[in-house]
Chains A and B, each alone.
Chain A
């Protein structure tokens, strides 16, 4: 028997959906958020995403993802509100600054689009373990090479981040400035990047040998340990979400979608 910690029966109803269903849903949401211009698209998507997050009980975990887009949102709001090309409907003049209503509207819409997109991906990431996604993609025909590249890259990132912050810390301890002027920061990149890149690349040869020693290049399909149930209902839902998103975006671009 394959042990339970490998099979990992999913808990909770949304988590138990097939990874492809959740992936298609995330893509459809992203398409509508970007493709349907104006207020409606992003707002509807945000509503759906928040509802999904509540159902899946991952609402709380969404917060860091939401915080991560703050620098971008701030940039969008500032640049567009104060510097919107051709806008004349000035809200108020504050010294040399002239925020405009047109700019503010564009900025808010862009903010909503970005938030809707980032959150829909976040809900997907939070409810779908990477190895479930890869197992499902493998079952649908993705080869072992593709599965390895994606899986190993995702696994390597946190380790490399750890390593990068170790290097930054040790260099800060040696007096290297990571907060100072632009020029100082640029100089900081080289000693940061070089050991990281060289360290990682020097391991490629060893990793290759280790993979070959574990029959990685054997022909045929690999065995998949974890069964991931799918259903007719989910298949239908995937098609509906995919086609629906395309139709909505097409209608919006053609200008025949009667929404603000």
Chain B
């Protein structure tokens, strides 16, 4: 997107005030930022749902696979860009009795023939390794499982860009781990471009190659994940650095650094940091919920 500016209907305040951002196929770009920075708006604009589905005024240019979103209908945008929201319960259609049918909901809306639908549903389930849930009732899944089903439902439309709007923020620790694992597998193996918008930086450190910081509707910083997350300025923007960075700083501050100070940040990134609960007794601050 180039110089994208967006204001909601009935207001003149620009929630996005000139955002430049691009995500190439196979790349995972994360956007972090404090509350009210315009993160969720960015997701809707990037996915082409704003202004099509919610009105409002968009200036500048937002391209999905080469097409201006302003010229697309919502169902056309949906086939170019998938979007996963926070709450798994509201993303399921509520009209199906099995996970299989739930994932088939999108392809059915497109009117595809039955063979193509079967292929897409099975494909999406295989990608996320949830074929075992196929005959379950979507209303009787755990939060993490439901979020994966919601993701599979979106992937069944075969988008070339995937937008994740704080995908684990409403999940319990087990769900966070489940979805985090699936997303990092997906990001590593799939050629889809991913835009991850997050408040918690744990997941960002794990799957993103690049991070941009959004404050007040503008991107104020952008760079490789390790660099941005280790930047002391991050906290000033209202974003908590991931636990690994906090541990390192806490140790350094204590002045008993020893050989930990020189620890390679890249090595820390390899550890599974999922935002799961810290070990009991660890005196570390936890991330603020979004």
Contacts and interface: CB of A to CB of B under 8 A. Distances in A.
B268 interface: no
Interface in B89-117: 89-91, 93-98, 100-101, 104-114, 117
Given A206-B91, A207-B90, A212 B114 contact: no
B95 A147 contact: yes
Q: Which of B83, B96, B109, B154 has the most chain A CB within a 10 Å cutoff? A: B109
Given A152-B94, A208-B53, A225-B101, A217 B107 contact: no
Nearest to B136: A5
Interface residues of B, number: 46
A222 B109 contact: yes
A157 to B, nearest CB: 11
Contacts, number: 114
B153 interface: yes
B78 interface: yes
B112 to A, nearest CB: 6
Contacts of A216: 74-75, 109
A75 B78 CA distance: 54
B114 A225 contact: yes
A260 interface: no
A152 B47 contact: no
B226 interface: no
Contact of B111 (A2, A148, A210, A218): A218
Contact of B95 (A148, A215, A217, A220): A148
B9 to A, nearest CB: 13
Contact of B135 (A5, A148, A156, A206): A5
A217 B118 contact: no
B98 A5 contact: yes
B93 A214 contact: yes
A216 B114 CA distance: 17
B85 interface: yes
A87 B117 CA distance: 67
A1 interface: yes
B205 interface: no
B114 A223 contact: yes
Contacts of A147: 95
A213 B98 contact: no
A15 interface: no
A222 B85 CA distance: 24
B73 interface: yes
A151 B97 CA distance: 10
A127 B52 CA distance: 42
Interface of A: 1-3, 5-6, 129, 131, 134, 144, 147-148, 151-152, 155-156, 159, 203, 206-225
User: Top 4 closest A-B pairs, CB basis?
Assistant: A151-B95, A218-B75, A215-B75, A214-B106
